[in-house]
């Protein structure tokens, strides 16, 4: 079973073949890791969790048609090209609890909008796990959030007419409306890759831009 999407089944060999060990961290990228991080352990984490998605159809899309459409990306910049450096630099933050930081952001009285987004089929950052860490939040608006309705979402007007639910949103009412959670159906960890239309609609809602 794939940690990023529980519906991606196969033998252990099938999943391992999806990984691309040739897309390994370079010596320069490994050197960016904080002191005390073992290079072999970091290399293994990179191969298991990131190389699966480098060189996939999304990579080809972003470095092909999207690059051409935007027309402003320098030739020396590629989609995913910074992944190794970011992964090494932030390696101490890998799978680190941040619920206290979320609590602090929520306490800023709306200065920061906080949104939790969960793919229904994600295992490594599961929706159930989000329920558990959210239960630790001490922000005064949490009772109002829990009392709010969980409303269905649709990726288009046609889907809404056909009651084809793409996910759910739960938002705290005013004055706590700066906190919301999206649950996206039929999506794993990589929501834009699994459910692009639903992800785009979510981004439009979060940015306040309904059209591009």
Beta carbons within 8 Å of 178's beta carbon, 6+ residues apart: 106, 110, 112, 113, 114, 172
Per the CB < 8 A criterion, the answer to whether 181 and 117 are in contact is yes
**Backbone CA torsion sign across 184, 13, 25, 59:** negative
Helix (H) or strand (E) segment spanning residue 147: helix 142-147
pTM for this predicted structure: 0.78
Helix (H, G, I), strand (E, B) or coil at 178: coil
Name the CATH topology of 99-207. Rossmann fold (3.40.50)
- For residue 22, name the pLDDT band (cuts at 50, 70, 90): low
At residue 180, the pLDDT reads 96
Q: Domain residues of the chain, as ranges? A: 12-93, 99-207
| pLDDT tens, position by position, 57-111 | 777 888 999 999 999 999 899 888 888 899 899 988 877 888 999 999 999 988 9
170: left (phi over 0), alpha (psi -120 to 50) or beta: beta
Whether 95 and 161 have beta carbons less than 8 Å apart is answered as no
CB 151 within 8 A of CB 165: no
Task: Tell which residue, 78, 88, 38, has the closest CA to residue 54.
Answer: 78
Confidence at 51, pLDDT banded by 50, 70, 90: low
Average pLDDT over the chain reads 86
């Amino acid at each position: 079973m794939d940690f990023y999407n529980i519906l991606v089944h196969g033998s252990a060999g099938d999943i391992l073949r999806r990984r691309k060990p040739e897309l390994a961290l370079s010596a320069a990228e490994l050197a960016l890791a904080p002191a005390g991080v073992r290079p072999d352990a970091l290399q293994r984490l990179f191969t298991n969790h990131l190389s699966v998605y480098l060189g996939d159809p999304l990579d080809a899309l972003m470095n092909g048609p999207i690059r051409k459409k935007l027309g402003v990306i320098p030739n020396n910049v590629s989609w995913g090209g910074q992944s190794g450096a970011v992964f090494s630099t932030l390696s101490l933050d890998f799978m680190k609890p941040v619920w206290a930081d979320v609590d602090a952001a929520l306490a800023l009285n709306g200065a920061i909008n906080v949104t939790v987004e969960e793919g229904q089929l994600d295992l490594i950052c599961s929706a159930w796990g989000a329920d558990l860490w959210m239960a630790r939040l001490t922000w005064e608006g949490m009772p109002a959030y829990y009392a709010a309705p969980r409303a269905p979402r649709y990726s288009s007007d046609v889907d809404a007419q056909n009651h084809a639910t793409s996910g759910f949103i739960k938002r705290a009412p005013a004055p706590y409306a700066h906190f919301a959670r999206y649950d996206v159906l039929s999506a794993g960890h990589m929501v834009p890759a699994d459910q692009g239309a639903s992800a785009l609609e979510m981004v439009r809602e979060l940015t306040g831009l309904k059209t591009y």
